[in-house]
Structures are given as structure tokens and as C-alpha cells.
Amino acid sequence: MEPISLTGTVLLLPLASALVIMLFHSLLKNVAHLVSTGVSIVMFGCALIFLGAADQPNGLLLYEYLKVGNFTADIGFVVDQQSRGMLFIVTFIGMLVHIYSLGYMKDDDARARYFGALSLFMFSMNGIVLADNLVMMFIFWELVGISSYLLIGHWFKKPEAADAAKKAFLTNRVGDFGFMAGILILFGLTGHVSLAQLQGSMESGALNHIKDHFPWVITLAGLGLFLGAMGKSAQAPLHVWLPDAMEGPTPVSALIHAATMVAAGVYMLVRVYFIIGASHVTGDIIAWIGGITALMAALMATQQGDIKKILAYSTLSQLGYMVMAVGLGGPKEGMFHLYTHAFFKAMLFLGSGAVIYACHHEQNIWKMGGLYKKMPVTFWTFAIGTAALMGVPLMAGFWSKEGILAVAYPAHGHGNGILFAIAVLTATLTAFYMTRLVIVAFFGKARSKDADHAHEAPLVMILPLVVLAFPSVLAGYHFLAEPLQALVPSHHEGPEAKIVMGCSLVAVIVGFLTATRLYKNVDKDPVNIPLFANKFYFDEFYAGLVKYAQDRFAWLVTALERIIVDGLTVRLPAALANGLGSWMRGLQSGSLQAYTFVLGLGIVVVVYLAVFFSTKP
Amino acid sequence: MSLLEIIILLPLLAALVTWLGAPARVTALAASLLNLVLVGWAFLNYQSLHGADGAMAFRHARTVLSSPHIQFAVGADGLSFTLALLTVLVTLAAVWSLVDKERIYYTSTLLIASGALGAFLCTDIFFLYAFHELALIPTFLMIALFGHGDKKDAAWRITIYLGVGSLILLAGLLGVVWYCSPEKGKLTFDLLALKPLAADAPYAKFAAANFFVLLVGFGTLVSLFPFHSWAAPAYAAAPTPIAMMHAGVLKKFGLYGLIRIALPLLPTGANTPWVQHALLYMLLGNILVMGFVTLHQRRLDGLLANSSVMHMGYIFLGLASGNALGQNGAVLLMFAHGISVALLFMLCGRLRNQLGTLEFDKLGGLAANAPFLSLVFGVGAFASIGLPGLANFAGEILIFLSTFQNFQASEGFTLLQVTTILSLWGVVISAVYMLRAYRKIFFGQPSAGHFMSDPSLLQRVPMFLLAAVLLVVGLYPSILLNIVQVSLAATGLK
């Protein structure tokens, strides 16, 4: 297949599926899920062929979206190692989640709507991955936001789900404010929005004058783009939407809020790395925000009781890792962790979905227990995912985490001692909270009736778990990573590498042993830290900000607008108004026919004048 | 009679016939459908004939007065056709959505349509102005007679404001006719014969002042801050088809006038720094002040009315940028805003009829029983907050980009660019109020006593029509942009 028809298919097929399902919603009630799943399988096939496609640095044009004078913003595709690899991840996990959903959403009344939104998401996400310019990326960026809004709010009757959907979209909008500002500045500097042309201007020296004399402009543009990434990849302080987004169906959490959409921020940063890397200030800010997010989210995860919330905070923490790596000058390391993390985190979420399904929608780990005997496949796959996430040696997560620690190590180019310490501490905490989760949920005795009666999920749900177990172990090895077009960072050697590996190992062991000691055979949490359990009170702070700052301010502006603008411009012609007011009162009691007659007569006169009193020129 | 004359007079004739007793619904629907076909056909024809030069076509003139020179002259280019298309689309939707209404509703909707078409298709300043005034009369009357809530206050307010605004506008237009008539002492109202005021004309200061007068006059019609306070009460009070026609179509006349008359004929006036700065401050008032005012609304009608005022700020921003990117974005956004706001007012009217209230605190969970309605409302709402893939975004991003076209790092951010950054925050504010409203009305548990059902298949047609236009233009904006940009270039805009 021609590259353009291949990428066109990957983009347009899910759009067609989404539109057809939404338009013929009631007709397709019983086949929509098959249409959507079929499309996801075809997309995966295309992505496999795409792995062999040749690089297209200047993009493949589908059509010109906007063209005014010399300015164009295309819908066009870039084909390189990043887009090929990312497309593989997105369509692979997308396909598995579609299949898994066939089981998980079997009895949902609005299954057709769910699968329609899933197709819309696949369309949007593929668009981000393939975008060859910033305007197109922004378009699909926001479309991902709306698909996520629809999927989080799938059970919209539940107030929590409806609120979570709104919160996710609005938090992302705040990020998009920065994204757009960044695009505008870059457009102002170069006159382009295409990534290839922007990179050309940056690297050819055309912007050297600005780099030397006005570096703040480039810093500002990079920070603007980063604000967009902070929204999508849920970096502090814009992280608050992601835990709430767990109100959506669990397969959605696996696909969107673990493996793909939230990774889009990191993907975008890697795409525009030539801008970020051009300014030290930008890089430092990004690295620190990533590091702080990683540590803070890990601390919050240690005190959660909801199985999905623990995984959500863990996702935040891992995204923080990736962002930190990019900020520290390691886009390859960040991308590599994105790639391994996608597999095992998707598997963990799908596993948690199987647990929730088996326990009749119980999500509290303190009401589970003893599940390992009842759900052996789920348990073993979950254990593999946990080991990968903790960074147990030889698992996928071990390699990519070590890469990030190596970038943070002070001896490395941009390395930083404090950030390295944060990264090691986060690794310890990760081992701690994941061990806690597994022990409490799967071991000990069943702490509720639902857990006691739990049984293994159906085959369509188990199958994706088993499939994902393989890359969770193997994705870190070159023989698998390279054919899948993952950016495998070069292996670090030498004495630092040994220190890094030592720290990483100690972190896993310490975290694991502490958690085992604390949580073996307990029925309630022996540790109680309100600050972590309450997520550092971010939500309360924002609620206050919205209520007292934004809404009070809106009230004040409204009052002033009424008093000043209205007062000045309405009182002024008040005298006139009095006269007219009495005329209006007359109008009320008058006959409608008379007024319309007068009106009609006036029009007839105009027409008469225009048509009959005219002379041909 | 020429084609454009037929297009203008057809709704007028239909209005007359319905008023005289012809079956109102059938006549009105037939006339608006026929007009959609005529405008669509003419537009396609124009694209194939003048796709490259963008010249004024389908011209026809009948002289009414020889001194001063006034003609009943019609003609259209890409800009006029875009707005004419907007008019016929919204008219059809408005007429279709009328059910069980007195004939006066049909008559007035058709009258407004005719006035708007006349204003967009006449090339003589006198008639262009007169047709707009003609369309205002039924607007005022319908609000005063059949409005909701505080209709009297709203009606006198819009009458006074637009009346005064029109007088200021008239003064400004006479000024243009005076400056720009090719032979001194021989005034002509023929728009195509007027000559742009040269940069070195002795009247440069007057030109700036005159441009400002036009800005205030046209601006009042478009609810430019601080001359906006008629708009929100009027739209909240107006009967549904009137709100659709005025907010969707007729309001765009002011912007059309600025693009058609003020910018090309008084370029020096438009480029005067104090005029530019004044415009930027005023449009910031629209975006930020009205943004926060919209945030404070507790009823759907008030929210839509105020947000419609707010969004005018973005169109003015496109005009303020002073380049082709911004002007094309402005025209695209005029069209998109017209369609989206008409759709939203139509749905709002339906909610009011069925539920009897529009207060957010009394509504909830409508999506459960009315999925189609919530989907279409979602399309309108998300279009209006600039979601990519729907038409409004295409206009907005062109406008934003246009303001950075002349960015110079050495000069830092100019006032125009600072305004843009602040306006970007307005995009966040829009999302906040729209999503809050959508959450409250459609999501959550259905509130007791307020049952809403989906419309019948037949009544879905106008909603589907407008939503489909938003989607098509959103995915492929070039469908309008290609022809608009050659025409704007031909108008002599820089």
C-alpha cells in the first residue's frame, strides 16, 4: 500500500466508524461494537505494515486544511521512527481494549455510544501521532480531549462521572491555552507551523539572532508548548483531573488514561524537542515539574484505597518520570519509558477491571483479599505487571527506569543530584505501593462477600491480559524493541552505571520489604497520613479558587458592568426612553393588524420606488 | 429582474402573501427552500466563474436618483455570498422550527431574511443601509409583542440603542460618501464607484475620526463593548426565530459593513494608532468583561445571549489585525458563529417550550430521555467554544495566527499580541461556562417534574441541517475560505 493511503486509512477509518455509529445510533445498536472493534483490528494491521514504511521527513499531504495567501496548515502526516512506534503502541493497545470491552461492556445500555466514542478517540489519537505540523497536532489534541470527555462521562447520570468529565476537559483547556500561545510565538518567529520547517529554521541558524539576543522568546514558546503537555500528561499542578477520570469505564482508563492520551504530552515534547532543547531554562523547569509530579503522585498513591486510584496516581508518577527525562535532555529515555509503561500499565488497568468485574463493581482494596486463588490468570498477569512497574530486574520497566535514572545522575550532561534522589525515592515508593496493592487485594482472606464469591473473568477479557503479559516482560529487550520502532537509548556503561543500577535495585528491595512487613495479614491500613490520603489538598485549593476567586470575580464584574456601562449608556438617553416608553405602552394595547399593515405598506412603497421609478442605466 | 433581486424579493413577497392569508407554513417553507436553492446555485456558479478573480458579479442596477447618485444596485462576491448563504440557511431552519405559531411569526422571519439579504447583496450604500433598517422593524415589534420575561424593557432598549447606533452610522456613511465620491460635489452612493481615501489626503485626521464614527455605528449593531448592553436582554427576551435571525444573521451586518465599506475606503483611518488601540480595548471588553458576565449567568437564555456578545470580540480581533489572515478568519467566524448561535437559540427555545424554565438549578439529566437533542446541543455548544473539527475553530485560529504575523522579537509583544494572549484566556472562560451549563442541563440525574423528549424526525431536520454545516465547514473550511480570500483581496483589503 502507498504510504499516503495507509496513513489515510489509519486516520479516516475510525472517523468513519465514529460518524456512522453516532448518526445511525439506534439502527446499529446491536452491531456498533463489532464495527468499532473490526476497525480497530484493521488499524492494527495497517500499523504493522506501517512499521516497514520509509521515512517521510516532509510529510504526506492529505489535504490543505487552511490556506490563506502564503500560509497553509495541512492535514499531513510525518513518517519517522517516533510516529511508527507510537502508532504501533496506540493501535495495539487500542485493539486489545476494544476486544476486552466486548466483555466488560456487554450489559451496558449505551454500548453503541461507548464504542462510537472509542472510535472517535482512536481517530483523534492517531491524528496526534501522525501530525506533521503544530496546528494539526492542536486540532487532534483537542479532539482527544473531547473523546476523553465523552468516555469519562459515559455514565453521565452519575454526578461524579459528569463532574470528572467536565474537570478533565477544563483542566486540559488551561493547558491548551499555553499550547496555542506557544504555536503563535513560533509562527510569529518563523511564519511556519510545520514541524519540519520549524526544525529547519531552528537548526539552519535562521533564528540565531533571536537565540542570542532574545532567548526569552524561545523559552516562552517552549514553556507554552509544555503547558499543553502538562494538561494532557497530567503534570502538577494540572494533574487533578486524572484521578477523577477513573470514573470512566475501566477499559477507557487502560487505553486513554494510562497508555495513550496521557502519553501524548510526552510524545509532543519529544516532537518539539528542538525547541525545548534550545533553552536551558525551559529544560530545567520541565525537569523539576516532572520530578515533583513523580514524587508527589507516588506519595499520594501510598494512601489510596481504591484500586483504580492507586493505578492512576502511579500513572501520574510514571508520567512525571518521562517528563523529567525529557527535561533533563533525554527524550529517547522518556520515549522508551513511555513505550514499556504503555504495555504494563494497560495490563494493570485491565487486570484491575477484571477484579472489579469479579467483585461486582467493588473498587476498594480493603474489601477484596484472597483473590489469587479465585482468579489465577488475573493474579499472575497482574503480578507480572506489578513487577514490571516496580522495575524488578529483567522486566520491561527495569530497563526503561534505569535509563531515566541514568539521565538524572549528576555525572550525566544535565544531571542533577536532587532530581536523582527524587527519582530513586519515587522508585522506592513505587515498589512500596504496588506491593501493598497486591498483598491487600490478592492475599489474606476475603474481606467482603463479593470478594468471597469472585471468579475469573470471561475469555475476551482474559485474553488481552495474557497478550499484554509478553511485552510487559520482553519490551525492554532490543530484539523486540527495535522492530517495534521504539527509541532504545544507548546503554550506559562505566562506574556510574553500576551506581545507578545499585540504587535502582536497593529501591525495589526496600520498597518491597517495607510493604510486605506492614501489610501482611492486616485488615485495615496501619499507616495513616491524611496529607497523602487527601492528595495534598489540591482539589480543595482549586475548589476554593474557583468559588472565591473566579465566581466572586464574575459576580463583581457583572455588577460593575450593570452599574457603570449600563448606567452611563442607558441613563444618558433616559429622557428619550421615557417618551418612547409611553409609545411602547400604546403599542401593547394597539391592534397588531394595524401595525403590521403600516409596516407592510412601508415595504410596498420601498419596492414600488425601487422597481417602478427606476430607469435602466 | 436579475437573480439577486429575486433572491432579495422572494422572502419579501412570501411575507406579504402569508400576511394576506396564504397558508403560512407552506408558503414560508417553500420560499425559504427555494431561496436556499437559488443562493446555493448562484454561489456555485460564482465559484466556477470568478473563483480566480473574486470580482463582484451578478450585477444589476436601476437608477433611483441621479443627484446624489442612488441606485437600486445589486451584486455579489465571495463575501456577500457567504453571508447570503448564512442567511438562507438560518432562515430555513428558523421557519422550519416554527410549530403551531401565528402567521405573524412567519411574516416577520421572512421580512428579516429579506432585509438581511438586501443588506448583504446591495452595492449601493443607501439601499444597503435601508434594508438593514427594514429588517430591524419586525425585530423590535416581535420582541415587544411576543417576547419573554421583561420584554418591554428589552424592546425599548434594543430600539433606542440600535436607533441611535443607526443614526451615528448614517452620519459616518454620509462622511464616506462625501470623502470618497470620485468627483467632488457630485455625491454617489454607489459602493463600487467610491475611491479609497489616499494616505496623503488632506483629510487624514477626518478619515480617522470618520472611521471611528463608523466603528461606533457599526459596532453598536454588533454589540461592541461598551455599546453592547442592548444585546443580552434582547436575545433573552426575543421569540426564538427572532433571536436566531438577529443574533445569527442580522447582527453580522455591522461586521459586513466594516469589511465592505470602512476598511477598504478608509484604510488610513483604520491604521491610525489611536483608532487601533481604542478598538483593541473595546474588544477586550467584549471578551474579558462579557466573559466573566457570562460566567455569572444562571439561566440558559442569559448565558447564550451574553456569550454571543462575548464572541463578537474575536471577530473584531480578526479585523484589528489588519492582514488577510485575520480578515479571512473574521469572515469565517462570522459565518460559523451565525450558524452555531442560531442552532443554540433554536434548541433553547425548545427547552423553554417543553420545560417551562431555563434555570440551571431546576434542570438536569436531559440526556437520558433526549439523546438526540443533547448531541445536537453538544455540537452547537462545542462549536461555540471553538472545538476543532467544527466551523468556529477554523475562524478563530486564523484570527489568532494573524495577530502574530508581524511579531518582532526585538519589539516584544505589541498591544495587539497582548490582547490576543488575553483573548486566549477567554477561550478557557468560554469552556468553563459552556461545560458547566451542559453538565447542569444534560448530565446528572433527571430532575423531577421536567420531562424532555427528543423531537420527531421531521423536527430534527433543521437541527441536523445546522449541525451538519458546522461539521462540514469545520472539517473543510476551504469550501468557503477559497472564495472569500480572493474576493477580499479583490476588494483591495491588505
Angle at B6 between CA B3 and CA B10, to 5 degrees: 150
Q: Averaged over A359-370, what is the pLDDT?
A: 91
Nearest CA of chain A to the CA of B156: how many Å? Answer: 7
pLDDT above 60 (res A224): yes
pLDDT above 80 (res A596): no
pLDDT above 70 (res A584): no
Tell me which range, A200-214, A598-612, B77-91, B402-416, is most confidently predicted by mean pLDDT: B77-91
Instruction: Concatenate the DSSP letters of all residues of B410-450 into one string.
Output: GG---HHHHHHHHHHHHHHHHHHHHHHHHHHHHSSSPPTT-
The pLDDT of residue A415 is 84
CB nearest to A66's CB, from B164, B446, B477: B477
pLDDT tens digit sequence for A452-493: 888 899 999 999 999 999 999 999 888 888 888 888 887 767
pLDDT above 50 (res A591): no
Rounded CA-CA distance A378/B86 in Å is 57
The pLDDT of residue A605 is 60
CA distances, A469 to each of A136, A343, A378 (Å): 34, 8, 11
Contacts of A225 in chain B (CB under 8 A): none
3 state SS of A271? helix
pLDDT tens digit sequence for A489-540: 877 677 888 899 999 999 999 999 999 999 988 888 888 898 988 888 898 8
Chain A, chain B: beta-carbon pairs less than 8 Å apart = 215
Nearest CA of chain B to the CA of A280: how many Å? Answer: 19
pLDDT above 50 (res A615): no
- Preceding amide of B226 cis, omega within 30: yes
Rounded CA-CA distance B213/B363 in Å is 44
**Residue B57's beta-bridge partner residues?**
B76
Instruction: Concatenate the DSSP letters of all residues of A509-575 into one string.
Output: HHHHHHHHHHHTT-SS-S---HHHHTGGGHHHHHHHIIIIIIIHHHHHHHHHIIIIIIHHHHHTTHH
Q: Letter for the amino acid at B40?
A: G
Q: How confident is the model at residue A614 (pLDDT cuts 50, 70, 90)?
A: very low
Q: What percent of chain A has pLDDT over 90?
A: 65
Rounded CA-CA distance B169/B162 in Å is 10
Estimate the crossing angle of helix A307-327 against helix A396-408, to 10 degrees: 40
Tell me which range, A133-142, A479-488, A593-602, is most confidently predicted by mean pLDDT: A133-142
Q: Averaged over A371-389, what is the pLDDT?
A: 94
Q: Letter for the amino acid at B426?
A: G
3 state SS of B64? strand
B368–A189 C-beta distance less than 8 A: no
The pLDDT of residue A126 is 96
With CA atoms as reference, report the closest residue to A73 among B393, B403, B318.
Answer: B393
pLDDT above 50 (res A588): no
CB nearest to A169's CB, from B431, B476, B482: B431
3 state SS of A453? coil
Q: Averaged over A141-146, what is the pLDDT?
A: 96
* A56-68 vs A71-79, strand pairing mode: antiparallel
Rounded CA-CA distance B237/B301 in Å is 8
Q: Could you say which residues of chain B have pLDDT below 70?
A: 199-201, 493-494
B425–A614 C-beta distance less than 8 A: no
pLDDT tens digit sequence for A159-175: 999 999 999 999 999 99
Asked if B63 has any chain A CB less than 8 Å from its own CB, the reply is: yes
Instruction: Concatenate the DSSP letters of all residues of A99-135 into one string.
Output: HHHHHHTTT-TTHHHHHHHHHHHHHHHHHHHHBSBHH
* Cα pseudo-dihedral B132, B134, B136, B142, rounded to 10: -150
Q: Tell which of A12, A151, A157, A184 to mutate to test the B interface (max B CBs under 10 Å).
A: A184
The pLDDT of residue A580 is 53
B25 sits in which H/E element: helix B24-50
Rounded CA-CA distance B92/B302 in Å is 25
pLDDT above 50 (res A358): yes
Q: Tell which of B59, B105, B229, B385 to mutate to test the A interface (max A CBs under 10 Å).
A: B229
Can you state the percent helix, strand and coil of chain A, rounding each to 5?
A: 75, 5, 20
Rounded CA-CA distance B165/B175 in Å is 15
Q: How confident is the model at residue A571 (pLDDT cuts 50, 70, 90)?
A: low
B292–A180 C-beta distance less than 8 A: no
pLDDT above 70 (res A384): yes
Rounded CA-CA distance A388/A381 in Å is 11
Angle at B223 between CA B222 and CA B229, to 5 degrees: 155
B156–A580 C-beta distance less than 8 A: yes
Nearest CA of chain A to the CA of B331: how many Å? Answer: 12
Nearest CA of chain B to the CA of A159: how many Å? Answer: 5
Which of A565 and A441 is assigned the larger pLDDT? A441
pLDDT above 90 (res A291): yes
Rounded CA-CA distance B270/B493 in Å is 11
The pLDDT of residue A5 is 84
B332 sits in which H/E element: helix B324-355
The pLDDT of residue A125 is 96
With CA atoms as reference, report the closest residue to A174 among A103, A235, A256, A118.
Answer: A235
Estimate the crossing angle of helix A331-358 against helix A307-327, to 10 degrees: 180
Angle at A95 between CA A388 and CA A431, to 5 degrees: 15
The radius of gyration of chain A's CA atoms, rounded to the nearest angstrom, is 28
**Residue A63's beta-bridge partner residues?**
A75
pLDDT tens digit sequence for A4-44: 888 889 999 999 999 999 888 888 888 999 999 999 999 99
3 state SS of A411? coil
A189–B409 C-beta distance less than 8 A: yes
Asked if B117 has any chain A CB less than 8 Å from its own CB, the reply is: no
CB nearest to B389's CB, from A139, A551, A553: A139
Quote the mean pLDDT of chain A: 88
Nearest CA of chain A to the CA of B292: how many Å? Answer: 5
CB nearest to B481's CB, from A68, A143, A181: A68
What cell numbers appear for B55 in the block?
Answer: 470580482
Residue B458, judged by CB atoms within 10 A of its CB (0-12, 13-18, 19+), counts as: exposed
The pLDDT of residue B161 is 85
Q: How confident is the model at residue A89 (pLDDT cuts 50, 70, 90)?
A: very high
The pLDDT of residue B47 is 92
